[in-house]
Chain A
Amino acid sequence: MPKLIPRASTLSTAPAVAWFVVFMVAPLTVLFVVSVGVRGPDGGYAGGFTFDNYLELGNRLAPIWNTLKFSLLGTAVTLLVAYPLAYYIAVKAGRRKLVLLALVIVPFWTSMLIRTYAWTFLLGSNGLPAVLREWGVVDDLRLLNTPFAIVLGIVYNYLPLMLLPIYVALERLDPSLRAASKDLGAGRLATFRQVTLPLSAPGVVGGCLLVLIPVMGEYLIPVLLGGGRSYFLGNALADLFLQSRNWPLGAALAGAFILLMTAILLVGTAVARRLSGAATTGSPA
């Protein structure tokens, strides 16, 4: 296709680029300008040029650490939950594949707010804990507003994003590879470890990035399922803009957030490259 359409048609990229510039690049520039300003006496923003806001961030590392901790943990658990399911759908489900995939996606397409809110009832003491008490499993189980609830919320909301790339990687895996491995006498576990797992690694990394990035900006899950006791970057930003109305400090925190995100992505991409390289050279062929 490339050479067939005249060069003038490259102009058709213009609207998208213009849109990006006007509604993304320009606002981010404004964000930077605001981040070197000062807070107005009634809140908001007053002009200025100072890096104090960035220095102040040093005193506000807690939400950053907290966010990193929970996002990494949440992503890891999501991976553990998603991988076997992706494997089952891709390798074992046969003709039901599409239906099973659609079933993973359906909940994802209904209001996240409502689904997450439903969990507050399921995890509250009249929900799951009450059922378990009735069965005599546990006496006083507290689930709502715990780190467990936050991780559960992450897994629940981001499972499809983790599952799809892994599924794709596993789906593309040629069954003859596994057959070959078995013909060569490798056991089931060995085949999984030496063939399936390495070849699906790029999907795993892709899925992890897909989950990690939006989770880091999460606002609703810590509010609804964490009871506001765990403070994420998203909550810190919302508070700085909507409660304390310290826009310059909020802007500086947002700037730091973007940097952090970029760093994580660079590392993630590098890992993905190495893994896919390893997958190529390490394959039994």
Chain B
Amino acid sequence: MSAASKVPTAMRRRKRRDAVDRSLAVYAGLVYLFLFVPIVIVVLFSFNSGRHVTQFEGFSMTWYDQAWNDPMVLEALSNSLQIATASAVIATVFGTAAALAVRRLSPTTQRVVAILTYLAVVIPAIVLGLSILLAFVMFADWANPWLAYLWPGDDAPELGLGKLSVIAGESIFGIALVMTVLQARLAQMDDSLERASADLYATPWRTLRQVTLPQLGSAIFGGFVLAFTFAFDDFIIAFFTRGQSQTLPILLFSSIRRGVNPSINAIATVLVVVTVLALLLALFFLTRRTPGGAALPLLDDTSSASREDPAAPAAGPARTPQERTAEKVST
């Protein structure tokens, strides 16, 4: 190619590139529209004065009032919060403890743990939910007569489905989630700091507390938030294991089925606002604490392990060769 012909080609290319870039930007805009229109609709109709969900008849706060004064809504909300908090705490504590130690188990035990984690991630929520239902029912049926028999007083406690079984189900996935997120982070972490700490005669516990955990802080927080969100929004596990505890998604589902009540829009709007605020807060907090955007645990690579993440085992090893390539090329 001669220098003379290269200039116009480059210009043409740049022009075409601009066109491509612009259409990409337009495309992105359309996808965001797609993502947000339903939410806008929900928010808009939560202020609708009429019952009709398809015609906007005027501004009113009726549905907020109604939802706020409905004891069933409040109870479901409180149940959901309790369940999500408990599941996320269990998931974070157990998951973090396990992730820190798992690499020092014997290879066989490591494999067992890996298989269990993998299972927890890939098992369809509906299958887990109904298995727990069956297991709780069977166990309670066997254990309760014993409890009643052995209990000193008359009021023997009885086991059954309820918040506990929902928490059990939700936290299974949560533990796997936290473990995956943390293991991915640990794999990237440089252990020189820990060595230095040990060289300086810090006890292992102190090293853990003062060196390892702070470095993992954002990942742990990210894991907690993901586990919480999953448990809070989950419908299907709770649907099977809830016993008599109503959760918010289940209440919304049964309200939808039995005729339309715009107060569900009000509840949803409150949830949207709370979530967005929490997310903004987390974003602000995390980007300030650690320099560089990548510190945001929800958005960096470990978050490919978001929600129902089977890719961690699959994509985990898959990524490394590609990293290697990148390193090889750039050096």
> For B102, what are the chain A residues with a Cβ–Cβ distance below 8 Å?
10, 13
B135 at the interface (CB under 8 A from A): yes
Q: Which residue of B lies closest to A241 (CB)?
A: B130
Residue B246, interface by CB 8 Å: no
Point out which of B54, B94, B100, B191 has the most chain A C-beta atoms below 10 A from its C-beta: B94
- Number of residues of chain B lying within 8 A (CB) of chain A: 123
Please report the C-alpha to C-alpha distance between residue A159 and residue B126 in the assembled complex, in whole angstroms: 21
Q: Are A87 and B315 in contact (CB under 8 A)?
A: no
- Which residues on B sit within 8 Å (CB–CB) of A214? 124-125, 307-308
State whether the Cβ of B17 lies closer than 8 Å to any Cβ in chain A: yes
Q: How far is the CA of A28 from the CA of B172 in the complex (A)?
A: 13
Report the interface size for chain A: residues with CB under 8 A from the other chain: 121
B126 CB contact (under 8 Å) in A9, A23, A219:
A219
B131: chain A residues within 8 A (beta carbon): 24, 27-28, 30-31, 254
Chain B residues lying within 8 Å of A258, measured Cβ to Cβ, are 123-124, 127
Give the shortest distance, in Å, between A35 (CB) and chain B (any CB). 10
B35 contacts across to A, CB distance below 8 A: 103-104, 107, 156, 159
- Residue A243 is within 8 A (CB to CB) of chain B in the complex: no
Contact code string A76-98 (vs B, CB < 8 Å = 1, else 0): 00000100110111001000011
Q: Is the CB of A13 within 8 A of B98?
A: yes
- Which residues does chain B contribute within 8 Å of A148, judged by CB atoms? none
Tell me the chain A residues, 165-191 only, with Cβ under 8 Å from chain B.
Answer: 165, 168-169, 171-174, 176-177, 180, 185, 187-188
Q: Does the CB pair A188–B16 fall under 8 Å? A: yes
Q: Hey, which chain B residues are within 8 Å of A165, CB to CB? A: 304, 311, 315
A126 to B253, CA, bound (A): 22
Taking CB as reference atom, which chain A residue is nearest B28?
A88
Is residue A62 contacting chain B, with contact meaning CB distance below 8 A? no
Cβ A15 vs Cβ B98 within 8 A: yes
Q: A88-B28, A164-B306 are in contact. Are A217 and B124 (CB under 8 A)?
A: yes
Contact across chains for A16 and B175 when beta carbons are under 8 A apart: yes
Chain A neighbourhood of B134, CB < 8 A: 27, 30-31, 34, 45, 247, 251
A142 within 8 A of B: no
In the complex formed, the residue of A with least CB distance to B193 is A1
**Contacting pair A279 B325 (CB below 8 A):** yes
B179: interface (CB < 8 Å): yes
Prevailing SS type, chain A contact patch: helix
- Chain A residues with Cβ below 8 Å from B105 are 10, 13
- A258–B42 alpha-carbon span in the complex (Å): 36
Cross-chain contact A164 with B194 (CB below 8 angstroms): no
Interface: B161 (CB within 8 A):
no
Given A12-B97, A85-B31, A100-B28, residue A122 in contact with residue B313 (CB < 8 A) = no
CB distance from B38 to the nearest CB of A (A): 4
B252 adjacent to A111 (CB under 8 Å): yes
C-alpha spacing A275/B311, complex, angstroms: 14
A72 at the interface (CB under 8 A from B): no
Q: Please, how many angstroms separate the alpha-carbon atoms of A179 and B104 in the complex?
A: 42
| Residue A138 lies at the interface, judged by CB distance under 8 Å to chain B | no
Specify which of A23, A106, A114, A168 is in contact with B304 (CB 8 Å cutoff): A168
Q: A38 in the interface, Cβ–Cβ < 8 Å?
A: no
Question: In the complex the two chains form, is A206's CB within 8 Å of B311's CB?
Answer: yes
Known contacts A2-B103, A16-B94, A122-B38; A213/B124 CB under 8 A: yes
Between-chain CB contacts (< 8 Å), 20 pairs: A4-B194, A15-B98, A16-B179, A24-B120, A30-B131, A98-B293, A98-B296, A107-B35, A113-B249, A118-B42, A121-B53, A127-B54, A159-B35, A205-B315, A214-B125, A216-B124, A217-B236, A238-B126, A261-B122, A276-B322
Chain A residues in contact with chain B, CB under 8 A?
A: 1-7, 9-13, 15-17, 19-28, 30-31, 34, 45, 81, 84-85, 87-89, 92, 97-98, 100-115, 117-119, 121-122, 124, 126-127, 156, 159-161, 164-165, 168-169, 171-174, 176-177, 180, 185, 187-188, 199, 202-203, 205-207, 209-210, 213-214, 216-217, 219-220, 224, 233-234, 237-238, 241, 247, 250-251, 254, 257-258, 261-262, 265, 268-269, 272-273, 275-277, 279-280, 283-285
4 additional contacts, CB 8 Å, given A110-B275, A254-B131?
A10-B109, A24-B116, A88-B28, A213-B308
Q: What 4 pairs between A and B have smallest CB-CB spacing?
A: A217-B124, A206-B315, A206-B311, A27-B131
